[in-house]
Chains A and B, each alone.
Chain A
């Protein structure tokens, strides 16, 4: 059974940093395309970043180099390093195992970890 468990969220002051983790089980993370998606309170879904099995990485334009996605294959875990945090980074951050087109496998979402940026 595929499971994704996020951690690392919390309250941080503007300009601070956080590192989010996503512990994966039931599949091999290195063989999967993985993403982070966030949702500000009362707002819609916003894509943050995707890492492909090839290692190619993409980010939403608004981040301007402040975030970095990575993975530890040995730990079967995904990470999101978040620097220079701003109030508008506040929200619930979801770890997502993306769907697989070739096999029509659905995607899987964790329950999210809450990040609050406030002084």
Chain B
């Protein structure tokens, strides 16, 4: 089965840039979606189809996907960005939706 690998945690100071990686075999050939989840809340889509931002998501959020790694980048990080972030793909070879293990973003 297809596996997505994320770092368990990323820490960044306010105003700096956070990069969260999502590794998978030839992930660059798939569409990657990213979710933000704050405690006690349902996940919120912050990036889809690799680099498209849903309406209402700040331009500080950007995404890229190539080779074996997809990346969610958050520029000028704010305290309110502190959350768990999950990458997700649809694996067409198995017709399964796959989530990464999640990355806890801590704003120092």
Interface residues of A (CB under 8 A from B): 35, 37, 44-47, 50, 56, 58, 60-61, 94, 99, 101, 104, 106-107, 109-112
Name the A residues within 8 Å of B102 (CB-CB): 44-45
Determine the main DSSP class of B at the interface with A: strand
Check B45 against A45 for contact (C-beta < 8 Å). Answer: no
Name the B residues within 8 Å of A112 (CB-CB): 42
State how many residues of chain B have any CB contact under 8 Å with chain A: 25
Given A45-B102, A60-B96, the answer on whether A106 and B48 have CB atoms closer than 8 Å is yes
Q: Assess whether B24 is interfacial by the CB under 8 Å rule.
A: no
Name the B residues within 8 Å of A46 (CB-CB): 99
Q: Which residues of chain B (1-20) have a CB below 8 Å from chain A? A: 1
B96 to chain A, nearest CB (A): 6
Given A104-B52, A106-B54, the answer on whether A35 and B45 have CB atoms closer than 8 Å is no
Check A94 against B42 for contact (C-beta < 8 Å). Answer: yes
Check A47 against B98 for contact (C-beta < 8 Å). Answer: yes
Bound CA span A61–B31, Å:
22
4 more contacts with CB within 8 A, not counting A56-B95, A111-B42, are A37-B97, A106-B45, A106-B48, A110-B42
CB nearest to B84 among chain A residues: A44
